[in-house]
Structure 1
């Protein structure tokens, strides 16, 4: 068992001092591993000078930027805990996260200044654009701990809250190394790789897919403040990206971009997708361009890498999330946690060194999340086929029973998304006096699509689904409320 982990950036700086670690996509500014190492040391000194000690929380409210990683590694050297906050939240929502995490210091950028000022009980703040550069320059490099206890908390990621109040998921140093092994082995991560960090850093994918693993490997991370389709296409056209991880909504946007199809897409060695279900129709559009999008599935609580399809199977197994990665174990069980045979839909559970130990200051939620023998309850329903590939059926709490038959909304949503005039769909259950429950579909139309009526959508579904799965009602929405990972917030639809 790993007890202590060497300071990852100090180690990488000793191996690759002059290699570029980070690059700002907007300005072209770069930091070598030696520079990142030095600035992380000064960040630790800055934190200590502001009264931050071991175990204290440090919040950051900011778009993606190089300083995030300086503070991430600065906290590690001090033993402090970084808390990335969701800059999309209004102050009233941020107040709940601040109260839960209890940070002793808050870093924020110019774009987040108003939100920071609107907090009910704000901790002392450091303005990343106005105050941080001079404060960092004035801080001594110092000498900090060279070993990080594997089981110690490094940072907290608050869940997106698709159904309710976010919980602080604990991330340890062991989880970071396990995720590096899981995703690194899956995509063949190399020190020569360049990846793009554009998904928000308050989301696990923003940190871990693939920014932090690429830094551990000694590659280059281009940091983009947020999603910018034109800028991303320009990087693809310049053959600057070797790996790319995105959520389905980003792939949808790229496919609709007029320059995407003509870009040299073959230069990207690995295309990863997760965060939300990948519609089959979207995967087929990518296949038509020769792009092997590797669908996967993980959770904030799994570090996040759990499943990923191998590129060799990406086109033949559309719809599957692949197999459990190197340091992740998965099982499918019944409601009494008894293993189920292949082909049977059941509860999906996880185990391994990449799994969170629990939720920040929430023992009740932590107990509820794990089985008696230590497996994480994902809340997802899935099946494994005879070849060992896993297929997600949807969330257990979303499944409903219509006329005695189980209905999995994810299956119905996938069919609706295949309609040429439909961009996306969400299916919820509603009460019915005859059948107990029936489906209600919310449909977002494609930008240039016609508006099919309910009868046309009903016929489209009936040609592809059993009658009890077909929604009884179709409602149209201009757009869906989504989490940072692109998941539809169904509780807001109801």
Structure 2
């Protein structure tokens, strides 16, 4: 084969485990690896027939489904670049992703058609196809591929070629497209197989959306690489998730602390048979003691970790047996990844000293799409990725996170960059200054608050600010509270001292 990237995976899975269940979805429908591979082939042939070639971007806007994976693998078979779009984005944000990536094809679930109408009017996306059957006048993906002759396109693809562009919330107000190569996604899958002991008999319940790089890179891809089974869920409902764990003897589950809290708080928690569960991974923020206790009472412990889109996303992992011994740590570097700590001058610091976390390994991305300066700034002179986060390594090499240089807020596993929210709030009449910070929240880990100053005679309410932002930003980015202050604390250079605001409002 000439395709040495993800585009070869389906053909090899069809050869090695054709009749193994690859996917369980909906009300229990099943798809084998042969069927998944055949579906990817038909999508590949469809895209080829529409003129999609190596390097072209194919965007997907939809929930977890077989079509998501068929389009992903169909696109990379051609050497095309897959662009997953967060379904929670507002129209202007979707427009930015499609326009910035230069998507030549967009495949989307029907329920997003109305949201896409104003977006597509101002963009040149030559090929737009809905999933499902569609109509005779406007056939959907399922109807089209039934009449498409499957043919595996063996494109010339190397591990260094781009496989996906995943958009991150921008620290300067615009999201950046992180280019992930075939190497990045292959090695992060291998890291998970090594450090989480993924095996071919694993059954993973995918309750997190596949458009998130954590769900895709550290959930779906390792399981597919090993020939295991994915149970795809379009959304998260705690009662349904518990029922699926019992019904399908789920062995693997990934989520954020909120996910696990909602499961443990559900009335069916105590009576559901979860004895099959063996591997729980959690990211986004530290797991609180009460959640650890609830799962330990059922004989379960967590693998916790740290990473970001730019590391595909895994950088470190804390093994379950060290959850209590190293509580508060995000673990050791993944097997094929290295982590070091540097001071503000780039010099390495001793163990126990706080500095910027820097990461190296084949899972680290090559750069941001179309942003040469941002890419250069993201790496050290010797090629290590600068995370923008502060932390330290203890005497045993375990990483602890101290603070976020970029002021990022993580709410229910979703990354929120304050600058993006602040830019839109600033457009509201009467606002003279704004700073968005994260405030601890029992359910979501933390939630955004907006601290604002007003022009003379102006007034504003939380509802007014949220209404102004609604439709411009994803709803999870909307401040849960707006506080009016006389002035914002600033440095001599005029920069807002967010540490002071966090100490006052989030302490």
Question: TM-score, normalised to structure 2's length?
Answer: 0.77
Alpha-carbon distance change, 115 to 414 in structure 1, aligned in 2, over 3 angstroms: closer
Q: Contact conserved, 2:258 with 2:445, CA < 8 A, in 1?
A: no
Q: Contact conserved, 2:214 with 2:314, CA < 8 A, in 1?
A: no
Q: Does 228-237 or 325-334 show the bigger shift?
A: 228-237
The answer for the alignment partner of 2:122 in structure 1 is 121
**In the alignment, structure 1 residue 205 sits paired with structure 2 residue 214:** yes
Q: Contact conserved, 1:283 with 1:318, CA < 8 A, in 2?
A: no
**In the alignment, structure 1 residue 167 sits paired with structure 2 residue 176:** yes
For residues 28-83 of structure 1, the C-alpha deviation after alignment (integer angstroms, 9 at most, x for no partner) is 22211111111111111100111211111111111111101111111111111111
Q: Does 81-90 or 287-296 show the bigger shift?
A: 287-296
The answer for the alignment partner of 1:216 in structure 2 is 225
Q: Contact conserved, 2:307 with 2:314, CA < 8 A, in 1?
A: yes
Q: Contact conserved, 1:58 with 1:80, CA < 8 A, in 2?
A: yes
- 1:325 aligned to which of 300, 324, 334: 334
Q: Does 240-249 or 272-281 show the bigger shift?
A: 272-281
Q: Contact conserved, 1:108 with 1:116, CA < 8 A, in 2?
A: no
Aligned positions, number: 422
The answer for the alignment partner of 1:77 in structure 2 is 77
Alpha-carbon distance change, 183 to 28 in structure 1, aligned in 2, over 3 angstroms: same
Q: Contact conserved, 1:344 with 1:384, CA < 8 A, in 2?
A: yes
Q: Distance in 2 between matches of 1:162 and 1:248?
A: 24
The answer for the alignment partner of 2:86 in structure 1 is 86
Alpha-carbon distance change, 284 to 393 in structure 1, aligned in 2, over 3 angstroms: farther
Deviation (angstroms), 1:299: 0.7
Alpha-carbon distance change, 67 to 308 in structure 1, aligned in 2, over 3 angstroms: same
1:436-447 correspondence runs (5 A): none
Secondary structure of 1:165's aligned partner: coil
The answer for the alignment partner of 1:99 in structure 2 is 99
Q: Distance in 2 between matches of 1:79 and 1:86?
A: 22
For residues 131-183 of structure 1, the C-alpha deviation after alignment (integer angstroms, 9 at most, x for no partner) is 11111111111241166310011111111447732111111111121011111
For residues 96-135 of structure 1, the C-alpha deviation after alignment (integer angstroms, 9 at most, x for no partner) is 1111011111111121111122214342310102111111
Q: Contact conserved, 2:307 with 2:315, CA < 8 A, in 1?
A: yes
Q: Contact conserved, 2:21 with 2:229, CA < 8 A, in 1?
A: yes
The answer for the alignment partner of 2:29 in structure 1 is 29
- 2:142 aligned to which of 117, 130, 133: 133
RMSD over aligned CA atoms reads 2.8
Q: Contact conserved, 1:7 with 1:148, CA < 8 A, in 2?
A: no
Q: Distance in 2 between matches of 1:263 and 1:211?
A: 25
Q: Distance in 1 between matches of 2:389 and 2:368?
A: 19
- 1:235 aligned to which of 228, 244, 261: 244
Task: Flag structure 2 segments of 5+ consecutive residues without an equivalent.
Answer: 135-139, 409-436, 453-498
**In the alignment, structure 1 residue 259 sits paired with structure 2 residue 268:** yes
The answer for the alignment partner of 2:349 in structure 1 is 340
The answer for the alignment partner of 1:473 in structure 2 is 504
Q: Contact conserved, 1:7 with 1:146, CA < 8 A, in 2?
A: no
Deviation (angstroms), 1:397: 3.6
Q: Distance in 1 between matches of 2:438 and 2:299?
A: 22
Q: Does 326-335 or 232-241 show the bigger shift?
A: 232-241
Q: Contact conserved, 1:155 with 1:171, CA < 8 A, in 2?
A: yes
1:33-432 correspondence runs (5 A): 33-119=33-119, 120-122=121-123, 123=125, 124-129=127-132, 130=134, 131-145=140-154, 148-161=157-170, 164-238=173-247, 240-398=249-407, 424-425=445-446
Q: Distance in 2 between matches of 1:314 and 1:300?
A: 24
Alpha-carbon distance change, 3 to 76 in structure 1, aligned in 2, over 3 angstroms: closer
1:7-18 correspondence runs (5 A): 7-18=8-19
Q: Contact conserved, 2:14 with 2:33, CA < 8 A, in 1?
A: yes
Q: Distance in 2 between matches of 1:271 and 1:344?
A: 30
For residues 209-268 of structure 1, the C-alpha deviation after alignment (integer angstroms, 9 at most, x for no partner) is 311110111000111112121211102233621111101221121122121233333421
Secondary structure of 2:145's aligned partner: helix
Alpha-carbon distance change, 143 to 424 in structure 1, aligned in 2, over 3 angstroms: closer
For residues 189-223 of structure 1, the C-alpha deviation after alignment (integer angstroms, 9 at most, x for no partner) is 11111102221222102212311110111000111
For residues 344-395 of structure 1, the C-alpha deviation after alignment (integer angstroms, 9 at most, x for no partner) is 1111010000000011111111111100000000111111111221111120
Q: Distance in 2 between matches of 1:53 and 1:354?
A: 25
Q: Does 157-166 or 69-78 show the bigger shift?
A: 157-166
Q: Contact conserved, 1:233 with 1:263, CA < 8 A, in 2?
A: yes
Q: Distance in 2 between matches of 1:170 and 1:319?
A: 31
Q: Distance in 1 between matches of 2:448 and 2:400?
A: 19
Question: TM-score, normalised to structure 1's length?
Answer: 0.79
Secondary structure of 2:368's aligned partner: coil
The answer for the alignment partner of 2:471 in structure 1 is none
Secondary structure of 1:107's aligned partner: strand
Task: Flag structure 1 segments of 5+ consecutive residues without an equivalent.
Answer: 400-412, 432-467, 477-494
